[in-house]
A and B are shown apart, each in its own frame.
Chain A
Amino acid sequence: MNLWSIVRGGVFFGALAVLPFFGLAHWFLTLLVFVLMYATMSSAWNLVGGFAGYPSLGHAAFFGIGAYTMALVFQNKVLTSGYEPFLLLPVIAIIGALIGWPIGWVSMRTRADVFAIVTITFLFVVQTLAFNLHGITGGSQGIGLPIPPFLAKTFEIPFYYVFLLLLAVTMLITFGTMRSKIGLSLTAVRADEDKAMGIGVRVTGVKVLAFSVSVGITAMVGGVWAYFQTFIYPQFAIDPLLTIGIVLMTFLGGRATLWGPVLGAIILETGQQTLAYHLGGSQFYLIAYALVFLVIMLLLPRGILPTLEDKLRLRSRRQRTEAAEQQATAASATPSEDPVALPGGGRS
């Protein structure tokens, strides 16, 4: 199973890494850049929203913090190679995580639904600050970054690889978490926080750690986004709908799974970007979106991957019983269908 996961990851990232060498069209690379960006953020959100069961609606605030940090550092700089802003990313991650720690500590005193409201409140506070601190952020006038000096021919490539790298890092963290004591603790927190505390899980430390790591990654994504857009405004850099998008992607693919958020991001982001382009502006957009949303929630409340897995497991169990009946020996039972390692469905 472990081997399988590594092979799966290797194939996925290997394929994505060589993809640009096939001379893809700019519009397709641009689309992939956005898909990778959302996949990274959904995977990061999954750490706290999926595994720990704390549905943060405030992640867009950290996206904005990353974007503004990037913009403030580089606003009047002249770039030579164009790669300088990427070198700032580790610093942005640390800034995001450091701001996230106290925020997580305070807001995680509350539980699920109140937590969601408190985090979205934080988002509005950050947005108001971005609007009102004209001297620093430029307020509603926004703030510009230098234009990336990359050739038009390969313009998207650097952004593509940086997001690919960020996604790989995030998924490695997720993978490591799922296989460690931390993952187990988070799942315990999600299942029953009081009980988890009772059996000696360091509840506060574990969940605040997950929150900080998650928002640190989100801040880095915001930084890259700001450089890609070259200009940021408060309403776009700190946008409640960004969080909603991430949450929806994670729910669609499957919470607390390694691949669910990535799958959700691929489906939703391509769906949204292509449909808006190809179908023009029909008034029925919002309604279609809401209905898809409702159908997912009502029919696949656990997301695509866990539901598929249930189906597969059911079928293979049936096959197994049939096989057992026919051969009267249990030798053919497939070992790949072990019981789930983590109660939260932490497989695939």
Chain B
Amino acid sequence: MFGSNRLRFRGPAVVALALMSVGISACASGSSGGSGGSSSSAQSSQPLVIGASVSLTGDFADPGKAVKAGYELWADQINAKGGILGRKVEFKIVDDTSSPDQVVTNYQNLINQDHVDAVFGPFSSLLTVPASQVAKRYGYAFLEPAGGGPKVFAAKLDNLFFVQPAPVVKQGDVFADWILSLPSADRPTTAAYPELDDPFSAPIAENVRARFEAAGIKTVYKQVYPAETQDFSPIAAKIASANPDVIVAGTQSEDAYAMVKSLVQLKFSPKFMYMSNGANSPLEFPSKVGASNTAGITSSGDWFPGSTATGSAEFTDAYIKKYGGTADTIDNSSAEAYACGQLLEEVAKKTGKIDNATIISTLHEAGTTWPTLLGDLSWDAIGQPQGSFHLVQWQGGKLLPVFPTDVAQAAPVYPKPNWGG
């Protein structure tokens, strides 16, 4: 099926140019240039080149561009401070057209043709898996802001670091923590789980379901729907007739908006509602579903406007200065990408070196946590982050962190107000 999440366009073909460039570069690079991880740390005058392949065309184009914006913003910031260890930071960002073949080619080229000093990750777990293998083969550390699906960690790579507070599957745990912390009289007793069929949505809801079922909350509806689902009225109708206390939706973006709309049309409002993604978009969500319909809906977040984590204020100001808009228009993906840069900065500050072997061993050091604008991060041996997300909730038209209490800016509201108010 031509599902929107399932198709992307693969690049262009302007022919003569390409042939020429291949011919030239093939002649130029006579021998296999597998420069290992520890290249050129001594030449302090040379710029530090970081390569990254993101999707600038195709299905992941929009978040891809947000990642690019975050990388480049960090480079501006660090260069204004004199660079890393006196070296100016430069990014070489190339397009992978959202294709797994292209992503392999791109990291090959970055590492073996352009001999970049470090690489950062692409957008989406789907592209992170093949890309991380290439980086591993040549001893490069792989800091990646956007690929936290379960299979990313299945290859057990020691060079990979997922730069978010927790693996994707655990994104919803904070909601389960909150619900299960409520006095038992207030807790929901029945739950519905509509889940988008992709590696970063359905597993979140499934994880929450396991926790809820163990705690005695009955599952009255569960449905996995495909990415190209357009009509959510059949799903909404079934949820309404099952009449659950809580809806735990594993959503991505457009499906989240469409699902809320269908529930509004059916005039069914549950006591609690959690959506893994989509509902945590500060600008899109209220504009797509109507601001008055957002009240009480919860979601997960790592960075949020007004966060007091390390470098967050600086990031926000710089972002608005460079790209315009307000703090609310900043995409989380940009913050996550920016955090990759912050980590490099920290490693350099701590060790006085910036080569791949050092990055890998330093970030793996037991007992250390790394301050970023997403909060303090740390990883296990295969790059799974050890923290947790924040629970965010829509209150009075604003998205606020409400749980756990140490980051909360407001107390969570329940039961969820009815639609329209």
Contact = CB atoms under 8 A, between A and B. Distances in A.
Interface of A: 22-28, 30-31, 34, 124, 127-128, 131-132, 139-142, 144, 147, 152-153, 155, 229-231, 233-236, 239-241, 245, 267-268, 270-278, 280-281, 283, 285-286, 288-289, 292
Interface of B: 1-3, 5-15, 17-19, 21-22, 25-26, 29-34, 54-57, 61, 64, 93-97, 99-102, 104-106, 108-109, 111-113, 126, 129-130, 133, 137-138, 149-151, 154-155, 197-199, 202-203, 226-227
Contacts of B138: 152
A234 B133 CA distance: 20
Residue in A144, A233, A239 whose Cβ sees the most chain B Cβ within 10 Å: A233
A240 B110 CA distance: 28
A280 B2 contact: no
Given A30-B104, A141-B151, A285-B11, A25 B33 contact: yes
Contacts of A283: 57
Most chain A beta-carbon neighbours within 10 Å: one of B13, B197, B203: B13
Contact of B12 (A124, A132, A236, A276): A276
A280 B68 CA distance: 12
Given A152-B34, A152-B138, A153-B34, A273 B199 contact: no
A23 B29 CA distance: 10
Nearest to A151: B137
In order of increasing CB-CB distance, the 5 nearest A-B pairs are A281-B56, A281-B95, A271-B18, A235-B6, A276-B11
Contact of A24 (B32, B64, B126, B133): B32
A124 B7 CA distance: 12
Nearest to A35: B22
B34 A26 contact: yes
Contacts of B18: 267, 270-272, 274-275
Given A31-B105, A140-B198, A235-B7, A124 B1 contact: yes
A281 to B, nearest CB: 2
B250 to A, nearest CB: 11
B112 A236 contact: no
Contacts of B15: 267-268, 271, 292
A271 B199 contact: no
B14 A131 contact: no
Nearest to B61: A281
Contact of A275 (B2, B13, B30, B93): B13
Given A23-B30, A144-B151, A230 B199 contact: no
Nearest to B113: A27
Nearest to A249: B13
B12 A289 contact: yes
15 contacts: A128-B226, A140-B199, A140-B202, A236-B126, A245-B10, A267-B19, A272-B18, A273-B101, A273-B102, A274-B18, A278-B21, A280-B93, A281-B95, A289-B13, A292-B13
Given A271-B18, A273-B11, A281-B55, 16 more contacts: A27-B105, A27-B109, A31-B22, A127-B6, A132-B226, A140-B202, A141-B149, A144-B129, A147-B155, A152-B137, A231-B151, A235-B6, A271-B14, A276-B95, A276-B97, A281-B54
Contacts of A236: 99-100, 126
A101 to B, nearest CB: 25
B209 to A, nearest CB: 15
B199 A289 contact: no
B34 A276 contact: no
Contact of A288 (B14, B113, B199): B14
Contacts, number: 189
Contacts of B32: 23-26, 153
Which of B17, B99, B101 has the most C-beta atoms of chain A within 10 angstroms of its own C-beta?
A: B101
Contacts of B202: 140
Contacts of B109: 27, 277
Given A230-B155, A231-B130, A274-B22, A27 B112 contact: yes
A144 B154 contact: yes
Contacts of B64: 281
In this complex, which of A27, A147, A267, A270 has the most chain B Cβ atoms within 10 angstroms of its Cβ?
A27
A344 to B, nearest CB: 25
B102 A276 contact: yes
A170 to B, nearest CB: 20
B19 to A, nearest CB: 6
A267 B19 CA distance: 7
B105 A286 contact: no
Nearest to B109: A27
B19 A280 contact: no
A141 B10 contact: no
Contacts of A144: 129, 151, 154-155
A275 B11 contact: yes
Nearest to A272: B11
A162 to B, nearest CB: 16
A104 B199 CA distance: 34
B56 A280 contact: yes
Contacts of B11: 272-273, 275-276, 285, 289
A147 B133 contact: yes
A277 B105 contact: yes
A271 B12 contact: yes
Given A26-B108, A31-B105, A127 B1 contact: yes
Contacts of B155: 144, 147, 230-231
Given A26-B112, A144-B154, A240-B7, A271 B19 contact: yes
Given A140-B199, A272-B12, A286-B12, A27 B108 contact: yes
Contacts of B126: 142, 233, 235-236
Contacts of A267: 13, 15, 18-19
Contacts of B30: 22-23
Contacts of A278: 21, 94
Contacts of B54: 281
A239 B19 CA distance: 26
A131 B229 CA distance: 13
A114 B31 CA distance: 50
A286 B9 contact: yes
A26 B109 CA distance: 8
A288 B57 CA distance: 13
Contacts of A139: 197
Residue of B22, B31, B226 with most partner-chain A CB within 10 A: B22
Given A27-B112, A281-B56, A142 B151 contact: yes
Contacts of B133: 147, 230
A142 B203 CA distance: 13
A273 B105 contact: yes
